[in-house]
A = this chain, B = another copy of it.
Amino acid sequence: MQLGTTAVYVISLMTVLLALVYAIYLVVWVKKQKNENKTIERIAGLIRDGANTFMRKEYAILAAFAGVVAVLIFLFLPKPVWQESMDKNLTMAISYIAGTIFSAIAGKIGIMVAALANARCAEAATHGIKPSFLIGFRGGAVMGLMVVGSCLLGVMGVLYFTNDASMLLGFSFGASSLALFAKAGGGIFTKTADVSADLAGKVELGIPEDDPRNPAVIADNVGDNVGDVAGMGADLFDSNIASMTAALVMATSIDGKILGVRSIMVIIYAALGLLASIIGIYTAKIGEHGSPTKALNNSTYFTTGIFLVLTAIATLLFEGFSWRIWAASAVGLFVGVIIGLATNYFTDDNAPIVKKVAHASKSGPAFTILSGVSYGFMSVLPAMVGIAISALAAYKLCDPMGPGYAMYGISMSAVGMLSIVGMIISNDAYGPIVDNARGLAEMGGLGEEAIRVADELDSAGNTVKAVTKGFAISAAGLTVISLLGAFMSEVNTLLEEMGRAAEKLVGFDIMNPTVFFGIIIGAAIPAVFSAMLILGVDKNAQRMIAEIHRQFKEIVGLAEGKPGVEPDYNRCIDIATTGALKELIPAGLFAIVATLVVGVIGGVNAIGGFLLGNIISGILLALFMSNAGGLWDNGKKYIEAGNEGGKGSDAHKAAVIGDTVGDPFKDTAGPSINTQITVVSLVASLVASLFINFHLF
């Protein structure tokens, strides 16, 4: 059967529609659940308002930033506006803005749903694990469906209106800009609030966690939403768009036209991935006394299976679909699952490594840190071997198909890894919802059994989060490899247009010192970028702690807990917001400016190397920081569950220090590196013509 362009549009839009309808159904279902506790309602309202404050401020700054970038794009990209008709530049600028808007909407919806679901999830916990789990899971699923649906919709829209695959680079760059703000900014926000609430509240003033007298306590809860829900959604939206963009740019260059059979395959695979996620979400269930971890993992595996079957059927049915490419994406997906399991081994508190770190904590905090760093370093091996194997396998499978197919195969392997991203986002968004629910159950006085249920749901969220994070980083790793391919395609297309086909790149040779120059500098960037974010959390926390001190000094009756006296929660949220965005901008600019400097010094060869160095050290550090952070977090939880001396023991104190170190590792720096790599890769592709025409060496 032959698939025409119209059929592809119809199929993908039908899938998007199905996803949206199902998401609306889930929203209605969640809304129908009981929500009667007044205390919970009030606190949930404060959290919701705080999240909105952050989002409003973030989006205001982003709008200004995006405006400036859009003007720059209009003036210079893909070529200076005075060299070419301005149509193309205008389209690029509009695509860019569309990318930011789509991503912003996805984030906004996530926040909205999380706010809807958390209070209801807490109340349902009084009736046992089954109803509470379903609310948390379906709340998260709305996010998953919306993100992936709008992703596919956006890509199809850009193709439909521009009829030019390279415009996807602009769209993707828009999504990345937003992801940088959402993920890194949200990451700084959440850890600022977390750290200062703990330090000023628990340590200095000796008041319990989540005590309403603490001015930072609402900011802390807001942080879970803006960092984990909105940030994570924007991040995976970005990775997903980037992987489709890379695949479509290369597909177009193989097909020699837009929406040829290779491009169609990319889109159909993405649509089938979304369909598989819908089925997976629909069938997810848990027994009265079932394990939420198992329920979440089973739905992931089930989705994986469905995707493989659906794409196999598509490959059978449709003309021009190739089994080799199917196999490449299957390898990607399979490796993704293996990497997830390996991550689990290093971060799950039922696995031996977490126990070892908890045990080491008995000798003091230095050993918590040393063992966590060591196992964090070790944990990079399975993921990196997995990425290496899927790249090699995709190459070997697809290279015989002709020139250009090897890189296309690798990009399809990334598309395969990200195919079930709808399911992954669902699981990921489940985490902060049940985490919030746990806090609300405690603050709302829902009783011990409800807190126990919420605790169990929360613990499953942590475990699953570690797995999906490993998955996300590895998928991003494969994606950026294909972005490197997309960069080369883009350079070659430009050179051809300039009539300089003789200069076309065939690759980037390590032994070429210009390439090498780029590699070495590119490798240093993620380290410096991470450092700037971590120090940003630190600086911002200092400001917030000063504010907490001020409030306790100036607000009469606050410290004593006089009824009716409330702290000024909003000031804290304001400080965290302003500070987060202030600390983020230099880090983002640093990465972008470094790219421009290296390109101007060494031209496209140096940039090829720069991207490679950036990818390599970025993947290494992101895996290390995410896994070490997860390990410390779960190590602390394991001790709190009564092991190695339990809560309050010296081992526990050491584990708390480990957890504090791990927090900005796993929630600020680690996951932001992905975005940094994508931003840098897209900037390189966008500015390629500058680097071709002007460089010093």
Binding site for B on A (CB under 8 A): 199, 203, 360, 363-367, 369-371, 373-378, 380-381, 384-385, 387-389, 391-392, 394-396, 399, 406-407, 410, 481, 484-485, 488, 506-521, 523-524, 527-528, 530-532, 534-535, 537-538, 542, 602, 608-609, 612-613, 616-617, 619-620, 624, 657, 660-661, 664, 697
Contact = CB atoms under 8 A, between A and B. Distances in A.
A394 B517 CA distance: 11
B511 A515 contact: no
Q: Among A481, A520, A523, A612, which residue has the most Cβ atoms of chain B within 10 A?
A: A520
A363 B199 contact: yes
Contacts of A519: 612, 616
A366 B620 contact: no
Nearest to A371: B538
B385 A524 contact: yes
B608 A535 contact: no
Given A388-B517, A511-B508, A517-B392, A530 B377 contact: yes
A457 to B, nearest CB: 28
A531 B374 CA distance: 4
A399 B661 CA distance: 47
A596 B222 CA distance: 51
Contacts of A399: 513
A193 B312 CA distance: 60
Contacts of A484: 510-511
A511 B507 contact: yes
A513 B378 contact: no
> Top 9 A-B pairs ranked by shortest CB distance?
A507-B509, A395-B513, A366-B660, A377-B531, A374-B531, A377-B527, A388-B520, A384-B524, A507-B511
Contacts of A374: 530-532, 534-535, 538
A509 B660 CA distance: 42
A556 to B, nearest CB: 28
Contacts of A524: 380-381, 384-385, 620
A410 to B, nearest CB: 7
A531 B602 CA distance: 35
B391 A520 contact: yes
Contacts of A527: 377-378, 380-381, 620, 624
A239 to B, nearest CB: 18
A514 B657 contact: no
B510 A364 contact: no
Contacts of A481: 516
Given A370-B534, A380-B524, A507-B511, 8 more contacts: A370-B537, A371-B538, A374-B534, A374-B538, A392-B516, A507-B509, A507-B512, A508-B511
Given A199-B364, A657-B366, A388 B624 contact: no
A388 B534 contact: no
A513 B377 contact: no
Contacts of A514: 392, 395
A530 B365 CA distance: 20
13 contacts: A370-B661, A377-B528, A378-B532, A380-B528, A388-B516, A391-B517, A392-B513, A507-B510, A510-B608, A519-B612, A519-B616, A523-B619, A616-B617
A400 B613 CA distance: 27
A515 B609 CA distance: 13
B513 A510 contact: no
Nearest to A533: B374
A507 B508 CA distance: 9
Contacts of A371: 535, 538
A523 B377 CA distance: 11
A369 B661 contact: yes
A309 B364 CA distance: 54
Contacts of A378: 527-528, 531-532
A128 to B, nearest CB: 37
A542 B377 CA distance: 21
Given A538-B370, A661-B366, A510 B521 contact: no
Contacts of A512: 507
B385 A534 contact: no
Given A370-B534, A385-B524, A661-B370, A510 B511 contact: no
A481 B517 CA distance: 11
B364 A203 contact: yes
Q: Among A488, A510, A542, which residue has the most Cβ atoms of chain B within 10 A?
A: A510
A510 B381 CA distance: 20
Given A374-B534, A538-B367, A657-B364, A510 B612 contact: yes
A515 B510 contact: yes
Nearest to A518: B388
Contacts of A373: 531, 534, 661
A7 B271 CA distance: 75
Contacts of A365: 365, 657
A1 to B, nearest CB: 32
A391 B516 contact: yes
B513 A410 contact: yes
A514 B399 CA distance: 12
Contact of A528 (B381, B507, B602): B381
Nearest to A374: B531
A674 to B, nearest CB: 16
A452 to B, nearest CB: 29
Contacts of A410: 513
Given A364-B199, A516-B481, A527-B377, A384 B521 contact: yes
A384 B517 CA distance: 9
A143 B657 CA distance: 42
Nearest to A608: B510
A434 to B, nearest CB: 26
A516 B394 CA distance: 12
A519 B392 CA distance: 12
A324 to B, nearest CB: 14
B488 A511 contact: yes
